A and B are shown apart, each in its own frame.
Chain A
Amino acid sequence: MVTKVQFGIFSVGDVTTDPTTGRTPTEHERIKAMVTIALKAEEAGLDVFATGEHHNPPFVPSSPTTMLGYIAARTERLILSTATTLITTNDPVKIAEDFAMLQHLADGRVDLMMGRGNTGPVYPWFGQDIRQGIPLAIENYALLHRLWREDVVDWEGRFRTPLQGFTSTPRPLDGVPPFVWHGSIRSPEIAEQAAYYGDGFFANNIFWPKEHFQRLIGLYRQRYAHYGHGTPEQAIVGLGGQVFMRKNSQDAVREFRPYFDVAPVYGHGPSLEEFMAETPLTVGSPQQVIDRTLQFRDYFGDYQRQLFLMDHAGLPLKTVLEQIDLLGEEVVPVLRAEFAKGRPAEVPDAPTHASLLAAKTASAATEPVDA
């Protein structure tokens, strides 16, 4: 299926007490809930499920490919992704192997998003130095990029033991590496990195004002063109978003407020109304969510992927599943139709394994000398 814009869910995977009941799910319940949410995403007609990666409580998803492999076996169409994979503290060799394996098992329904992580102690726990965060992201990804594209790699760098005659197995499915997004909240270096490789750039677009992400995405688009991958408008952009919906907007506000007021990320701070004015958070009716999301295109240009954060702040699973139903039934069909209107033909569709394979085949046919 050709999808101009992919829609999906991204989960942080936090275990948070429901402030309205005082009940805290167990790790087991939360892990199973994440799987249920992913399955619901496919059932509701969404395109993507992405999990975070964390190595400290109260977060459960320390082993993303294990979880995604399990979800892959129980879904047919859903693209499995990450938000984010820690390119700084994971061994790039292990990322290459784990995600190539997942790609085979999922018949290509895999991409991933690189991130540096925002938890200081994770660096020393994995033998790294947080002050080297950007250099680690750059060097580790440079190696990962080669491991997926060259059968035999000789390599030496600053941070990892050298490799001589190393072949990462399994090789990527059909010789097509998983598509990579680079996520960044504040670093222009990462926008530059995404542009250099012609990879996607994902702005999480939650918690911060849109002006901040407009600058980062603008830089990425401009540098994407600079490196000859296409026009700025053809750069591959993904956005996050955070919504809570009920049919009636007053019901949405009333139900979400107690969760918002004590949420781990922004609770005990500005009011819900102030936060909605300052950030892309939308709490209201499906129509309000549609209107707000359509504005993203005006702010950031035509883009390829929209992920929503829905299972956080201690919201019970039942509520999250209702949210995904609303998204699938009332919001995404309208967004698909509206985003297709006036979208220039040269703006690429969201990348998939099939589209990358087709591009590879086409380029091999026209440029037989080019390896």
Chain B
Amino acid sequence: MKLVVITAGLTQPSSTRLLADRLAEAVGRRLSEAGKPRVIELRELAVDIANVFVTGFPNGRLREVIEAVTEADGLIVVTPIFSGSYSGLFKSFFDVLDNTALAGKPVLVAATGGTARHSLALEHALRPLFAYLRAVVVPTAVYAATEDWGGAQDPFTDGLGERIERAAEELADLLLRRAPQARTAREEDEVVPFEQQLAALRPPH
């Protein structure tokens, strides 16, 4: 089982990374044969990602990361909320993936922010992004406002800990019930025989 964690936190240490680690731990606990998940810090790839927009191709380091993400069985993705949405770096990474790279892949989306008022960015920005990429997004999206790191829950709502456990349960459930898929980043090379391509163009009579 290949679980990959993508975190777009910018500071070190970062609360985005902290949330990513807690989610990965909660998911890992539920997967008997889970190895250590691969954690990808987008901060370390920021220039490589920007260069793809300029050159049109990923360099060797980024190519290896893209292949790991494409071949993953499931993803945990975490971004800080900037200006009401995912960060530009977070979106840029998904812009350089092939648009079929995440098709059918279970994804847990999560975000951090200074205030709980931005929590619906998960539903209004991240969920549609991954819907476009045809990923399977788990129902619970986890938002951690600064106050959540204290103990902001009240008797009427779940705290951060409960939400992490619920989302982890949902992702683990999807991962455990799925038949393993042989995913590779090389599927593009499959070719339609030329006669078939020609025949498809013959005018109907």
Interface residues of A (CB under 8 A from B): 134-135, 138-139, 142, 156-158, 188-189, 191-193, 195-196, 207-209, 212, 215, 219, 223, 227, 265-270, 274-275, 278-279
Contacts and interface: CB of A to CB of B under 8 A. Distances in A.
19 contacts: A138-B194, A157-B202, A188-B189, A192-B194, A193-B197, A195-B194, A196-B195, A207-B55, A208-B56, A215-B186, A215-B189, A219-B191, A227-B194, A267-B54, A270-B51, A274-B59, A275-B55, A278-B59, A279-B57
A189 B56 contact: no
B197 A192 contact: yes
Contacts of A219: 189, 191
A207 B56 contact: yes
B59 A189 contact: no
Contacts of A269: 50-51, 54-55
Contact of B59 (A193, A207, A270): A270
B192 A156 contact: no
Contact of B198 (A142, A156, A215): A142
Q: Which of A134, A209, A212, A269 has the most CB of B within 10 A?
A: A269
Contacts of B63: 209
A207 B51 contact: no
B150 to A, nearest CB: 43
B193 A192 contact: yes
Given A138-B194, A270-B59, 20 more contacts: A134-B197, A135-B197, A139-B198, A157-B203, A188-B189, A189-B197, A191-B191, A192-B194, A193-B197, A196-B194, A207-B57, A208-B57, A209-B63, A215-B189, A227-B194, A267-B54, A269-B51, A270-B51, A270-B54, A274-B51
Contacts of B203: 156-158
Contacts of B55: 207, 265-266, 269-270, 275
A158 B204 CA distance: 9
B188 interface: yes
B197 A188 contact: no
Nearest to B57: A208
Q: Which of B186, B191, B202, B203 has the most CB of A within 10 A?
A: B191
B179 interface: no
Contacts of B60: 209, 278
B104 to A, nearest CB: 22
Contact of A268 (B54, B188, B190, B192): B54
B182 interface: no
A357 to B, nearest CB: 27
B73 to A, nearest CB: 25
Nearest to A139: B201
A158 B191 contact: no
A164 B202 CA distance: 16
A66 B81 CA distance: 56
A212 B191 CA distance: 16
A341 B99 CA distance: 45
Nearest to B194: A196
Nearest to A194: B194
B63 to A, nearest CB: 8
B59 A192 contact: no
Nearest to B50: A269
A73 B198 CA distance: 38
